Structure 1
Amino acid sequence: MIKRLKYHEINFEKYSHCLDFSEQKNWYAKKEVLDELSGNWELLICGDYEAVMPIHIKKKFGFNFVHMPLFCQQLGIFSKIDKPEINDQFLKFFKKKYKVFLYSFNHHNIFSENLNKRKNYIVPVSDYVILRRKKYFKGRKSTAKWAQHLFYKEIQLDNECFSFIESNFKGLDKKSDFEKLTKYLRFLEKKNSLKISGAYLENKLINLAILVSEPQQLSLLALFNDENFKNENGPSFLIDRILNLYIHEKRFNFMGSNIRGIELFFKSFGGELHDYCFTENKFLKIFS
C-alpha cells in the first residue's frame, strides 16, 4: 500500500536507511541534497519504508505541481530490489494524487507501462589505457591527443572560478538560476563533494568542469567553455584527463543529454547508455 507523507511526517532515519541499502542509490535523493535543491518536498512510501519515492513540489500562481529541482537529473523509486509491480503501484498513485509537470525516475526503475525515456551516459570503472584504446571513438583519441599542449589544474571555488562561470554559463535563463547554482556549489564545497577541473592555455583559464564527487562516482554537473578558444579542444582535453586520473576507482556519470552533438561527445569517451523513464504534462509548462 502506497502512503503520502508531508515533509514533517517523514521518518528521516528510516528514509535514509532505505536509500543506503537500495539498489538505486542516488546522490539527489539524499535528505540534505533535496533540502538544498528543493526546499519543498514530500514522500511516497510503500509499507514501512520498504520503498520510497521523493517528490519536489513547486508552487506558482497559487498552484502546487510536481517538477524536478534545478540541477537534479533523476529521482524515482528506491528499494532493496527494483520490482516493476511495486513501481507500477507508485506510478498509479502518483498520477492520481499529483499535478505533474515533470518527474524523472532513475535508470534502475522498470515499469509495465511504456513511459518516455531520456538518455544518460556513464563510463564504468575501467583501466584507462584499455578504455582509451578500445572504447574511445577514433576522432576523440585524436582530438584529446592534439590538445595536450593545454595545462590541467584542479582549482578551488574562488573569485577566478566564479568570474569564469558567470562569463561563460549557458542554459540558465534567469539571474535567480545563476544564484541557485552559486549556492549549490557552496553547498557541495561544504560537503567536500565538489571537484573543479580547469584547462589552461599558458596561464589563461579557457575551460572548466564542475563535478559532484562521491566515493564511487564523479558526475558532470556543468562544463563551461570560453568560446574564443573553441579550436583548442579544451572539453576533450578536460574529460580525457579526468578519466585518466580517476576512472580506475570511480565511474564517470555524464548526467545525460538528448542534444545529438552532446550525446555523441559523451559516447565518444566510451560512455554506456543508461536511459531513464520520465513523465510530463506539457500543458503545465506555463507554471514552470
Structure 2
Amino acid sequence: MVYGDYQAVFPIVYKKIGFFKKCYPPFFCQQLGLFYQKEENDKGTLNLLANCLNYLNQKIKSYEFCSTSEFMGVFSNIKSDNLEITMPTPLSINVTRKNLVLNLSLKYSEIAGSYSTNTIRNLKRANKASLFIKDYSNPQDVLYFFKKNIEKIANLKSKDFLMLSDLMDSSMEKGIGKIIGVLNPDKMLIACAFIISHLKRDILIYNTADKSYKECHGMTYLIDFYIRNNAESDRVLDFEGSNLPGVYRFYHGFGAIENNYLLIKSKHPGLFRYTSF
C-alpha cells in the first residue's frame, strides 16, 4: 500500500480464508508495518498511521503486524500529550514486543566489560572446549541442523524452512547474508547463526544450538566471536528479541539494551480469532 506521493509505504502480507483476507506478520520478519517520511510532529505521524489502518479496516478488516520501533516513542508522546487521534475500532495497539540491540562502535574490551557474570563464565568454558568458527556459503549445509534443533520448539513447518532457504540464498547472492557455524574438535556443528546486514544493522535472523553439546556454550562463543570481529564499527547488532525470559536473559548478558516495538492488531471476533498461520 502506497500513501500519497510515497509519503509512506505499507507492505501488506495477507492470506485468503474463504471469502475473507487476513493480514499477518510473516515468519523471519520481526518488524514490518509502516515506513514513512518523518513528519514535523508525532500527531502527523499518528494521523498517517490512522489513515492506513482505516484503509486496512475497509479492505481486509482483520490484520496483525509489528510496527517499526520508531512508533514506540511516538505512541508514548501521544499518551503523555493527551492528543486525540481517531484510530479504527476495535484495535489493540498496546502489546509491546521486546527487542535487544548492541552498539558495536565501542572497543571490544569495553563491550565485553558489560557482559554479565553468567556470560563471562560460559565464555570461559567455551574457550576451554577448543571450539572454532566456520563460515558457510551453502544454506543447504546448515538447514538440516536448523530443522533438527528448532522445528518443534518454534512450531515451524516444512514450507517455513523452504522460505528460510530462499531467504538465505537470496541474501547471500546480494552479499548481505552470512551463515556462521561453531564446530567442536571433532568437527561437529554445534551452533549456527544466520545474519543479514543492512543499513549498518546486523540482524540475527535465526540461530540455534545442539542441546547435546550445551556444556560447550557454542552460541555464547559464536556471538562473542562476532562482537570481537565487528567492534569499533558504526554498526548495531540486532538480536531480534525476545519476550521469552530465558532468551532475553541470554542476549541481555552481552550488554544489549532494549529497542522495543509494538504489535498492532484488529480485534474482530469470530473466525479470525481462531486462525493461525
Q: Which category of TM-score, normalised to the shorter sequence, fits these structures?
A: 0.7 to 0.9
Q: Over residues 156-212 of structure 1, what are the superposed CA-to-partner deviations in whole Å (9 max), with x where a residue is unaligned? A: 225432332232233143221122111221111222121111111111111101111
Deviates further, 230-239 or 144-153: 144-153
Amino acid at match of 1:253: D
Amino acid at match of 1:86: G
Partners in 2 of 1:207 and 1:127 — Cα distance?
25
RMSD between aligned alpha carbons? 2.0
Q: Which runs of 5+ in 1 are unaligned?
A: 1-42
Amino acid at match of 1:256: G
* DSSP 3-state at the match of 2:11: strand
Work out the percentage of aligned pairs sharing the same amino acid.
Answer: 26
Q: Over residues 253-274 of structure 1, what are the superposed CA-to-partner deviations in whole Å (9 max), with x where a residue is unaligned? A: 0011100110111111111101
May I ask how many residue pairs the two structures share in their alignment? Answer: 244
Q: Does 1:287 align with 2:268?
A: no
1 or 2 for the larger relative contact order (CA 8 Å, sep ≥6)?
2
Mapping of 1:256-267 within 5 angstroms?
256-267=241-252
Q: Over residues 75-134 of structure 1, what are the superposed CA-to-partner deviations in whole Å (9 max), with x where a residue is unaligned? A: 23333425422332233231443423411110112233662211101101222110101x
Q: Does 1:128 align with 2:108?
A: yes
Amino acid at match of 1:274: N
Q: TM-score, normalization: structure 2?
A: 0.81
Asked whether the equivalents of residues 61 and 287 of structure 1 are also in contact (C-alpha less than 8 Å), the reply is no
Instruction: Note the C-alpha offset of 1:248.
Output: 2.3
Q: Which runs of 5+ in 2 are unaligned?
A: 80-92
Q: Does 1:103 align with 2:91?
A: no
Report the CA distance shift for 1:48/1:158 in structure 2 as closer, same or farther (over 3 A).
Answer: closer
Instruction: Note the C-alpha offset of 1:44.
Output: 4.1
* DSSP 3-state at the match of 1:195: strand
Q: 2:87 is matched with which residue?
A: none
User: 2, 13, 20: which is aligned to 1:63?
Assistant: 20
User: 182, 191, 194: which is aligned to 2:165?
Assistant: 182
Mapping of 1:1-40 within 5 angstroms?
none
Partners in 2 of 1:76 and 1:241 — Cα distance?
32
Partners in 2 of 1:100 and 1:89 — Cα distance?
20
* DSSP 3-state at the match of 2:70: coil
Q: TM-score, normalization: structure 1?
A: 0.78
Amino acid at match of 2:70: H
